[in-house]
Amino acid sequence: MASLLPPSSILSNSSSPSSSPSSRLPLLSSASRTLRLNRRREFRRGKRVSFKLLSAVSGLNRGLAASEEDLRRAESAAKEIEAVGGAVDLTKDLDKLQGRWKLIYSSAFSSRTLGGSRPGPPIGRLLPITLGQVFQRIDVVSKDFDNIVELQFGTPWPLPPAEATATLAHKFELIGASKIKITFQKTTVKPTGSFSQLPPLEIPRLPDVLRRTSNTGSGEFEVTYLDSDTRITRGDRGELRVFVIS
């Protein structure tokens, strides 16, 4: 007479703790807790090194007041946050560039010229041009990349200082996962302050045949760190720049 009981192998498999969904729950729960814990640690570490960088560059007037020791401290803090953030891939995270970014530090400004390591007019309170805030306005859809600089020009007494906002319009393109090329289009100077009623002055880009070969109107830089509120770039001449979203 055939047995009415299932084979012992079936009984063994069906009752095996290793195949029971409930028996796998502790393992999944443990892995999930470990993942959450690691994410919290990375988040706290990221905030710590971000605070370290912001502390290193604070009080340096965007780099104008930076000493050699300040430059080394900022460079060290930037390398630390770059290591924590890992490689930047703008082909996936291009939308993070969108917005208006405020420059809070540039190693190039330690040379005390408006051009940084490039030729440029001097800046400072006792010199012809005083540099105000500097912004970058980026539109990832239209590929507009505008450098916006607030300037104050010295004037003979008793005239008030002349103030203006210069917008250097560029177009940008990706030339690598984290590298950007910008091409100059035009400069618009809008008087502000006491002369705000004057119309803006637009300075178009010179035709290629009239420009010197050393002045191509373009530049390249690499985005070495990027999150929702902080961006670090390194220029084609080694300048370290730190921006925060504004």
Split into its structural domains, the chain has a count of 1
Residue 20 lies in a domain: no
Is residue 13 within 8 A of residue 19, CB to CB? The reply is: yes
Specify the pTM. 0.74
pLDDT band at 27 (very low <50, low <70, confident <90, very high): low
Nearest Cα to 204, choosing from 232, 217, 185, 180?
185
User: What is the predicted pLDDT for the residue at 125?
Assistant: 45
Is residue 146 within 8 A of residue 168, CB to CB? The reply is: yes
Residue 146 lies in a domain: yes
Average pLDDT over residues 195-211: 75
The CA-atom distances, in angstroms, between 197 and each of 12, 188, 191 are 89, 15, 8
Average pLDDT over residues 143-150: 96
CATH of the domain at 183: 2.40.128.280
User: What is the predicted pLDDT for the residue at 143?
Assistant: 98
Residue 187 lies in a domain: yes
% of the chain at pLDDT higher than 70 = 70
User: What is the predicted pLDDT for the residue at 217?
Assistant: 67
Residue 40 lies in a domain: no
DSSP state, residue 74 = H
User: What is the predicted pLDDT for the residue at 9?
Assistant: 47
pLDDT of 115 > 60? The answer is no
Residue 234 lies in a domain: yes
Residue 177 lies in a domain: yes
Residue 58 lies in a domain: no
Average pLDDT over residues 73-100: 95
Is residue 97 within 8 A of residue 226, CB to CB? The reply is: yes
Q: What is the mean pLDDT of the chain?
A: 81
Residue 29 lies in a domain: no
DSSP state, residue 62 = B
User: What is the predicted pLDDT for the residue at 119?
Assistant: 41
Please compute, for residue 112, the number of CA atoms within 13 A of its CA located in the half-sphere on the CB side.
9
Q: What is the pLDDT of residues 220-241, one digit of tens each?
A: 999 999 999 999 999 978 899 9
Domain that holds residue 101: 88-245
pLDDT of 199 > 50? The answer is yes
